[in-house]
Amino acid sequence: MTTPVTVDQLHPRLAEFTVIDVRSPGEYAAGHIPGAHNIPLDRLDEALPTLRAVAAEGGIAVVCASGNRSRTACDQLAAAGITALTLTGGTTAWAGDGHPLDRVPGARAVWAMDRQVRLVAGSLVVAGVLADLALPGARWISAAVGAGLAFSAVTNTCAMGNLLGRLPHNRPRTAGTSLDATLAGLRG
């Protein structure tokens, strides 16, 4: 069962939790809750043994940009027998309440994943409609994107987000953003 926690509830107790940020490394590098460890949602399964050990020592709080991915991550953790809290509103709410975000040195700002998905999905829909003017039947591209978005909403998954998360701008090559380094830090 996923337990939500607000910024006002988490902030005074932050030292009691290991904070796991499940956004892409690029999003994490551009600004994260101080002390948070980056384990991208699409790689959470690889981290389960380490997270199980961390949970045995104390609480885990999971964050993302808005709270959607962190809820999904908490559901995955719960299925693996790991209890975790999810931050309602994510790092957006954290920063909105005036709390600082740490940044990885040299990192540049990256759009939030939901914004990237909206840009790509909208562009594909428009491209499909425009291409249909020259190539009848191309509008089915738009229909496929719409069906994919509906499926994404029903299943609470996002294949487009997972694909976009693998692009180079979402996986910067800056120190402190590799999963292996994160897991080693959590173990040690």
pLDDT above 60 for 109: yes
Task: Report pLDDT digits (tens) over 93-104.
Answer: 999 999 999 988
Adjacent-strand bridge partners of 19 = 61
20-29 confidence digits (pLDDT tens): 999 988 889 8
Cα separation, 72 vs 132, in Å, equals 37
Mean pLDDT of the chain: 88
Distance CA 18, CA 140 (A): 46
Residue 167 has pLDDT above 90, yes or no: no
Write down the pLDDT at residue 174: 55
- What domains are defined for the chain? 3-110+173-187 (3.40.250.10), 113-164 (no CATH)
What is the average per-residue pLDDT within 81-97? 95
**Nearest by Cα to 38 from 184, 188, 172, 176:** 176
Note whether 35 and 86 are within 8 A (CB): no
Q: Retrieve residue 127's tokens.
A: 């491209």
Per the model's pLDDT, the better-predicted residue between 30 and 76 turns out to be: 76
pLDDT at 127: 92
Residue 44 exposure: Cα atoms within 13 Å on the Cβ side? 23
CA pair distance 165, 149, nearest whole angstrom: 17
Residue 72 amino acid letter: T
53, 126 contact by CB (below 8 A): no
Cβ 76 vs Cβ 45: under 8 Å: yes
